[in-house]
Amino acid sequence: MADTPTSLTTRRALIAAVTLTLPGAALAAPRRVVTLLGDSITAGYGLPARAALPARLQAELDRLGASALVRGAGVSGDTTAGGLARLDFSVQKDTSVCVVALGGNDLLQGQDPKRTKANLDRIVARLRARKIAVVVAGLKPPAVIGRAYAREFEAVFAAVARTHGAALYPNLLAGVAQTPTLNQRDGFHPNAQGVQVIARGLAPVVARALSGQR
């Protein structure tokens, strides 16, 4: 029996309805973007891309059910001043959450913590003005560099986060710093295992920031 125009229309409507219920049939919503604004740690110094922090953090977010596209914006050797100078270029307009992971090279250069704080303050203020959620990743300097300096430097990150209502991850290198088996030969940059430790610790904080952006 030949199909009538009415039966063809009905059949097509039924097929369309069934298709839309199939897994993956509907177009997936675009994933939100997490940008890592940082230095060599976020740039993945000495590591293949698949083992670097952007890729490992993305995998951890997927595991937590907080799917996002993690975009690396790390420049080896960058200071907070360098991050501030390239902020608008490096953190693109589609960013939902920006992890600000700068300050390690300021520390290595012995910069005045007040200067580091001023740079971070301007970075976070500009990101918040763009309606981007921010996670400030801090550092815990070793006391060997001078206890007073170490305390003042460590306090910078919490102060900036508090001022702008940003999330704080107190120590990006927690569980990794000064642990030889988790670092490359230079003793400063994490190896693949060290990066995995960082990603696992950072991911829940980033996931909470993402949930606040819905």
Structural domain spans, the chain? 28-211
The contacts of residue 83 (CB under 8 Å, 6+ apart) are: 37, 38, 39, 75, 90, 100, 102, 119, 123
Judge whether 186 counts as a catalytic residue.
Answer: yes
Judge whether 164 counts as a catalytic residue.
Answer: no
Instruction: Please tell me the predicted confidence (pLDDT) of residue 16.
Output: 40
Instruction: Please tell me the predicted confidence (pLDDT) of residue 5.
Output: 46
Q: Out of 90, 121, 186, 211, which one is annotated catalytic?
A: 186
Strand order in the sheet with 133-137: 68-74, 32-38, 95-101, 133-137, 167-169
CATH for the 28-211 domain, from 3.20.10.10, 3.40.50.1110, 3.40.50.300, 3.40.50.1580:
3.40.50.1110
Instruction: Please tell me the predicted confidence (pLDDT) of residue 15.
Output: 37
The number of beta carbons lying within 10 Å of the beta carbon of residue 45 is 17
Distance in angstroms (rounded) separating the CA atoms of residues 72 and 67: 16
Q: Out of 40, 78, 90, 96, which one is annotated catalytic?
A: 40
Instruction: Please tell me the predicted confidence (pLDDT) of residue 213.
Output: 67
Instruction: Please tell me the predicted confidence (pLDDT) of residue 30.
Output: 74
Judge whether 189 counts as a catalytic residue.
Answer: yes
Question: Hey, what are 119's tokens?
Answer: 């740079």
Distance in angstroms (rounded) separating the CA atoms of residues 80 and 123: 8
Distance in angstroms (rounded) separating the CA atoms of residues 212 and 197: 24
Pairing of strands 133-137, 68-74: unpaired
The number of beta carbons lying within 10 Å of the beta carbon of residue 212 is 10
Please give the chain's pLDDT, 214 residues, in tens: 445 544 444 444 433 443 333 444 345 567 899 999 999 999 999 999 999 999 999 999 999 999 899 999 999 999 999 999 999 999 999 999 999 999 999 999 999 999 999 999 999 999 999 999 999 999 999 878 899 999 999 999 999 999 999 999 999 999 999 999 999 999 999 999 999 999 999 999 999 999 986 5
Angle in degrees, CA 141, 60, 161, rounded to 5: 40
The contacts of residue 15 (CB under 8 Å, 6+ apart) are: none
Instruction: Please tell me the predicted confidence (pLDDT) of residue 142.
Output: 87
Residue reference for tokens 């990794």: 176
Cα 127 to its chain centre, rounded Å, is 13
Q: Out of 39, 90, 106, 189, which one is annotated catalytic?
A: 189
